[in-house]
Structure 1
Amino acid sequence: MKCPFCQHDDTQVLDTRISEEGDSIRRRRRCVSCDKRFTTYERIELAMPVIVKKNGSRTDFDPKKLQASLQLALRKRPVSAEAVDAAIHRIEQKLLSSGEREVVSGQIGELVMRELQRLDKIAYIRFASVYKSFEDVAEFQDAIAEVGRERKPPSK
């Protein structure tokens, strides 16, 4: 690794430590040329998949868009910010663990619907009505009936 002070290519690692979270490595280094010390960090770099929209265009994954969608559906609903953050994290983890380089936007919509169904049934209906483009009351009734079926305990 190059020394940030003299740009010499040869440095020596003096100390290596893993962070408390276990997600990075801290290395204390010394330049063999100028004898100055500096610290470097190694972290895993995971790239989120590219999102393929309905029209075929591609865009980078934007967690802010995901958060905005969830917050809009959950507006004036009794769901904590921590629960929303956890849902976003679960969606991001599912996307990362898929190992795919590209994901169709519909897959993200389905993940959002699953998370909203867990968080708040009303928010789920709100989101589903837009996401699935409900065109009449019957579609709302079907979605409400579906949510209602999930809440009932199984009959013996």
Structure 2
Amino acid sequence: MKCPFCGHADTQVVETRVAEEGLFIRRRRRCPACDKRFTTYERPEVSFPQVVKKDGRRIDYDSAKLRASFALALRKRPVSTEQVDAAMERIEEKLLNLGVREVPSQQIGEWVMRELKKLDQVAYVRFASVYRSFEDINEFKTLVDEVRR
């Protein structure tokens, strides 16, 4: 690791710790040239597949968009942040475990619907009505009847 102070090419690791529930490794380093100390962090690099939209565009996966979808559907509903975080983790784990470079946005939408159905029925109906682009009241009624069963 290059020293950020003097640019010396080789630094020594003085101390290593696992930080924040094992999410990353914190290393204290010392430069033998200038004797200054600094901290580095190692985090795993995960690459999510690209999302293929209905119109064929490919975009990078964005967890903020997923969180915004949950937030909109769950607005003013009694669901905790921890429950939303857990649902998002399950979806992101599925994305990573697929082992593919691209995933259709419809697949992510279906996973969101499944998670919302477990979390809150009203949020599920809200999301489904927009996601499936209901054209008339009968489609909405069919969905509500399905939830009641």
TM-score (structure 2 length as normaliser): 0.87
SS of corresponding position for 1:41: strand
Gaps of 5+ in 2: none
1:130 and 2:130 matched: yes
Gaps of 5+ in 1: 150-156
Q: 1:109 is matched with which residue?
A: 109
Query: Shift in Å at residue 20 of structure 1?
Result: 5.0
Query: Shift in Å at residue 67 of structure 1?
Result: 2.0
SS of corresponding position for 2:17: strand
Q: Output the CA distance in 1 between the equivalents of 2:35 and 2:75.
A: 57
Q: Output the CA distance in 1 between the equivalents of 2:60 and 2:20.
A: 31
Q: Output the CA distance in 1 between the equivalents of 2:28 and 2:77.
A: 49
Q: Output the CA distance in 2 between the equivalents of 1:8 and 1:48.
A: 35
82-91 or 110-119, larger mean C-alpha shift: 82-91
SS of corresponding position for 2:109: helix
Q: Output the CA distance in 2 between the equivalents of 1:30 and 1:50.
A: 39
**Percent of residue pairs bearing the same amino acid type:** 66
Q: Output the CA distance in 1 between the equivalents of 2:21 and 2:82.
A: 20
TM-score (structure 1 length as normaliser): 0.83
1:91 and 2:91 matched: yes
Rg comparison, structure with higher value: 1
Letter aligned with residue 47 of structure 1: S
70-79 or 39-48, larger mean C-alpha shift: 70-79
Query: Shift in Å at residue 9 of structure 1?
Result: 0.7
Q: 2:31 is matched with which residue?
A: 31
Distance 1:76 1:26, change over 3 A: closer
Q: How many residues align?
A: 149
Q: Output the CA distance in 2 between the equivalents of 1:123 and 1:22.
A: 33
Query: Shift in Å at residue 133 of structure 1?
Result: 1.9
RMSD (Å) for aligned C-alpha atoms:
1.9
